[in-house]
Structure 1
Amino acid sequence: MEKAQLVFVPWPGMGHLVSAVELAKHLLTRDQRLSVTILILQLSFINSKQVHNYIESLQASSSTISNSLRFIILPKDEPELFNFTSFIERQKPHVKEAVLKIIQSESTSDSPAPRLGGFVLDLFCAPMIDVANDFDVPSYIYFTSSAAFLGLMLYLQKIHDEEKFDPIEFKNSDAELPVPSLVNPFPARVMPCAMLRREWLSPTLENARRYREVKGIIVNTFLEFESYAIQSLKMPPVYPVGPILDIGSVGSNAPQEIMQWLDNQPLSSVVFLCFGSMGSFSEDQVKEIACALEHSGYRFLWALRRPPPPGKLASPSDYEDPQEVLPEGFLDRTAGIGKVIGWAPQVAILAHQAVGGFVSHCGWNSVLESIWFGVPIAAWPIYSEQQLNAFEMVFELGLAVEIKIDYSKDSEIIVKCDEIERGIRCLMEHDTEKRKKVKEMSEKSRKALMEGGSSYFWLGHFIRNVMAIKG
């Protein structure tokens, strides 16, 4: 029985790494001929302790999957001033050396060595195609965002190269773009942040160019959710295999205090506010959110994080005392209906029956989790491609309400109390049609992964293609 090994190169952020690991688990569960090695890149502003703890917990697992899944942490090699392109280029020799060692170690073992079946590269790691080419094996992109965003990247790259289109010139404009992966004209004012900063635009466009070289693109979405966007993507082959989520241990790491508080709340009564691993706000903005929550009168659970120091690439942290940024007396006045926390066990909270709405930054993992658990979103994007995700959820799919979809962390806009309160009321005042649509999509997301489901089919199709390609 011929075996094949895939080498995964995820972006080192936890959201990307966890998604890559979950994809690997799906592959290994489906076909025992496969094995996966995940190469861990190291970045100074990523919490390396969190990454190492996560890997150790996976390695400690006694499951049969853990025997077919291994991790190699690559040497740290990063210039003092972070530059996206140079970071990836500096990693190429480390990736090549690691793969050579894998091949050499397996060629000396007694059992037949699995052939190198290909590289599965994060959407940010497309330049690693060069390393796959050195080994004369195919490369695939694992696109951890939406099919709509993949379509936007390919569209912008095409019109940039053919028509000299510069997205940055359209910042804050009223222009609309005919993006093939979207039904509606796309407003330039909600262009993803990555397209509006010169230091990110160039590598983003270069990644999109490289996508056209790969054997296929695995997308963390499912056909019933993004049917229009998926069908708009003509080449290379696209495999919609999602939702790929880490929900196997729901609640296992959740602080008891948070879960007990939720246990005491009525069904679907709590609005949960959480803005991702990199989401935080200024003190002025925090006060506006607090004002909106207090005026709305809704029960709330708020994950409030401290921004990193200005100009520093780092993750937000928890406040030792959130009262330092909240309006005076806020915690006392809302003690009966609200709870302010730091880091949030998001999956466990969304899974809880007391949660009736989710004020979210619309990171793609968060969008998929909200769909999976049937919790409607109020969209408030902050960075990366989240503005597009918010536009798609609100206007394309009708599965979310808007707080401010053209917000970004680079803007100095303060979203006012009234605007936030309106969004929260719209979210929580039981728009029965929208809630029904979210619940229906939740059921479809689960069926997609079951035998006979659309994502089950596409994952099998990907595996068959990997096993059919000879080195």
Structure 2
Amino acid sequence: MAKKAAAFILVSLPVTGHLPVTIELAKRLMNHDRRVKNITILSWRLPFTSPSSSYSDALSRSHPDIDLVDLPEIEDPPPLDLYTRVAEAYIYRAGFLGLMKYLSERHRRVASEFDDRSCHELLSIPGFDRSVPVNVMPPRLFQKDSHEAYVKLAERFKDAKGILVNTFTDLEPHAIDYFSREENYPPVYVVGPVVNLENRPNPNIDPVEHDMIMRWLDEQHESSVVFFCFGSKGVLDSMQVKEIALGLESCGCRFLWSIRTNPMKDVKPYDLLPDGFMGRVTGRGVVCGWAPQVEVLSHKAVGGFVSHCGWNSILESLWFGVPIATWPMYAEQHLNAFTMTKELGLAVELRLDYVSGHGSVVIAEEISRAVRSVMNGGDSRREKVKEMAGLARKALMDGGSSFSAVSTFLRELLAVDPSS
């Protein structure tokens, strides 16, 4: 019987880090099975996001069978943080999927949101080997409206035909083992790491600044530079920027520091720095706006990454074998940081409980101590991270765990009806 051609529709969230991963998944599905002839990616638009024309142009040249379609702008949308962490039911990390399952089960027993009194509780959550502190759970679980949205979404998971998770067996073994034994839950396909490793077209990157960054890195010794970058929403106030600057001064390490500023205000990264800072660190540091994160992490000079612990950033750092110092800020990032530090021992804990916009400040001494630890804390952690990088690549090879999971997913999805 001839194999039938298939067309897929994928939906990407209107967030900087999600579209490249959705594109990467589309490419992987098409490369994996010749029956997948066309994939259309629908990209929502919100008032505070830009259209995906740069991605569309690049795709049309390199992958003519992938169509990227911008949907009409949504008026009066819910807060972005609610969209990015409650609506993303397509690809999860396995640990976060365990949290969603726990929420659904807890709601049937307790039927109330978390409150401040429970912040020091330790919870037994499916897929975690250790008890999980409540204070590393998504902050919006403590807000009534968003808590209810999480619960409603979690309740619907059991109705799915299947769930793809962007992780790999050796990274989250407890979660994957747990879901593999669950009989009353949809099949979970472990297909990661799904990471976009190509240069990402982005209008925020100044070509001159990009070339300056890469030339400076070329001049540095191997694993000598710590990279500070907090994602597309990692905008810090002037007080926190000052503490980072003081921490970098005192630790003595070479650094590349990406400072995001509010696009609605005419503020440049250098405007936030303490007076005289760049003069005092002449030659051993670069401050920039938007940094080409994948290119930076893949550079031999980069030996540490102070990160907000978004899942894409974690997978990219592991892929290139760069140890992380954790500085989670919002959404599920605290849970990601907990996994990396407490569950896996792959990262240095800078903070686990910082919440962006709540007035807390990480002081210079904490920052300096964590940077020294991630850069000079011995070879054991670095070797462990490099070992995980090898396991990530192995998972994607023919016969690897994630390769096989994609095969199973496509085989079951595209199975020909015997009655036809």
Scaled by the length of structure 2, what TM-score is found? Answer: 0.91
Distance 2:252 2:296 in 1: 20
1:403 to 1:36, Cα distance in 2 relative to 1, 3 A: same
Task: Determine the C-alpha separation between the residues in 1 that align with 2:281 and 2:145.
Answer: 43
The match for 2:236 is 281
When residues 170 and 29 of structure 1 are mapped into structure 2, their CA distance, relative to the original with a 3 A threshold, is farther
Superposed, 1:84-99 pairs within 5 Å as none
Return the alpha-carbon distance in structure 2 between the equivalents of residues 32 and 230 of structure 1.
28
**2:45 matched residue in structure 1:** 42
Alignment equivalent of 1:243, drawn from 188, 193, 198: 193
Q: Distance in 2 between matches of 1:465 and 1:229?
A: 22
Determine if the alignment matches structure 1 residue 52 to structure 2 residue 53.
yes
Question: Closer, same or farther in 2 for the Cα pair 1:170/1:445, shift >3 Å?
Answer: farther
C-alpha distance in structure 2 between counterparts of 1:123 and 1:5, whole Å = 27
Partner of 2:138: 192
- Unaligned stretches of 5+ residues in structure 2: none
Equivalent of 1:216 in 159, 162, 167:
162
**Would the alpha carbon gap of residues 77 and 250 (structure 1) be closer, same or farther in structure 2, given more than 3 Å must change?**
closer
Pairwise CA RMSD: 2.3
Alignment-derived partner of residue 339 in structure 2: 392
Alignment gaps of 5+ in structure 1: 89-121, 127-140, 310-316
Give, in whole Å, the separation in 2 of the partners of 1:223 and 1:423.
28
Using the TM superposition, give the Cα deviation of residue 199 of structure 1 relative to its aligned residue in structure 2, in angstroms. Answer: 3.6
Q: Write the letter of the residue equivalent to 1:397.
A: L
Give, in angstroms, the shift of residue 181 of structure 1. 1.5
The question of 1:294 aligning with 2:296 is answered no
Structure 2 counterpart of 1:7: 9
Q: Percentage identity across aligned positions? A: 43
Partners of 1:56 and 1:361 lie apart in 2 by 30
Q: How do 1:389-428 and structure 2 match up within 5 A? A: 389-428=336-375
Tell me what 1:257 maps to. 212
Q: How does 1:297-336 map to 2 (within 5 A)?
A: 297-307=252-262, 319-320=267-268, 322-336=269-283
Matched-pair contact (CA < 8 Å) for 2:113–2:144: no
Residue 104 (structure 1) aligns with: none
The code of the aligned residue for 2:24 comes to E
Number of equivalent positions: 405
Return the alpha-carbon distance in structure 2 between the equivalents of residues 362 and 77 of structure 1: 28
Match of 1:77 among 74, 79, 83: 74
SS of corresponding position for 2:17:
helix
CA contact (8 A) 1:216 1:238 kept: yes
3-state SS in 2 of match to 1:424:
helix
Given that 1:123 and 1:207 are in contact with CA atoms closer than 8 Å, whether structure 2 keeps it comes out as no
- Structure-1 separation of matches of 2:233 and 2:85: 19
Higher mean C-alpha deviation, range 372-381 or range 190-199: 190-199
2: CA distance, partners of 1:20 / 1:204 = 22
- The residue type equivalent to 1:44 in the other structure is P
CA shift for structure 1 position 307:
3.6
Match of 1:67 among 64, 67, 73: 64
Q: Which range is displaced more, 228-237 or 370-379?
A: 228-237
Distance 1:84 1:330 in 2: 36
Q: What's the counterpart of residue 179 of structure 1?
A: 125
Task: After superposing the two structures, state which structure 1 stretch, 161-170 or 294-303, moved more.
Answer: 161-170
Residues in 1 aligned to 2:266 and 2:416: alpha-carbon distance in whole angstroms? 49
Counterpart residue type for residue 83 of structure 1 = P
1:33 is matched with 35
CA distance in 1: counterparts of 2:267 and 2:229, whole angstroms: 15
Structure 2: distance between partners of 1:275 and 1:199? 27
SS at match of 1:408: coil
Normalised TM-score (structure 1): 0.81
1:347 and 1:59 map into 2 onto residues whose CA distance is 22
Q: 1:361 matched to which residue of 2?
A: 308
- Distance in 2, Cα, partners of 1:25 & 1:257: 32
- Alignment partners' CA distance in 2, 1:437 and 1:190: 24
Question: 1:269–1:355: 8 Å Cα contact kept in structure 2?
Answer: yes
1:18–1:469 distance in 2 versus 1, CA, 3 Å:
farther
Q: Report the Cα offset of residue 36 of structure 1.
A: 1.4
Deviation at 1:236, TM superposition (A): 1.1
How far, CA to CA, are the matches of 1:42 and 1:250 in structure 2? 19
Q: Hey, what's the Cα distance between the residues in 2 that align with 1:11 and 1:341?
A: 27
Deviations for 1:301-327, whole angstroms, at most 9, x for unmatched residues?
Answer: 000111466xxxxxxx8843x342211
Structure 2 CA distance for aligned equivalents of residues 282 and 469 of structure 1 = 56
For residue 149 of structure 1, what is the aligned residue in structure 2? 96
Report deviation, 1:41: 1.1
Q: Hey, what's the Cα distance between the residues in 1 that align with 2:199 and 2:377?
A: 30
1:194–1:285 distance in 2 versus 1, CA, 3 Å: same
Distance 1:32 1:170, change over 3 A: farther
Give the Cα–Cα distance (whole angstroms) in 2 for the partners of residues 166 and 293 of structure 1. Answer: 40
Counterpart CA distance in 2 for 1:150 and 1:410 is 26
AA aligned opposite 1:275: F
The structure-2 alpha-carbon separation of the partners of 1:318 and 1:268, relative to structure 1 and needing over 3 Å to count, comes to: farther
Compute the displacement of 1:16 (Å): 1.4
Conserved 8 A contact 2:101-2:126: no
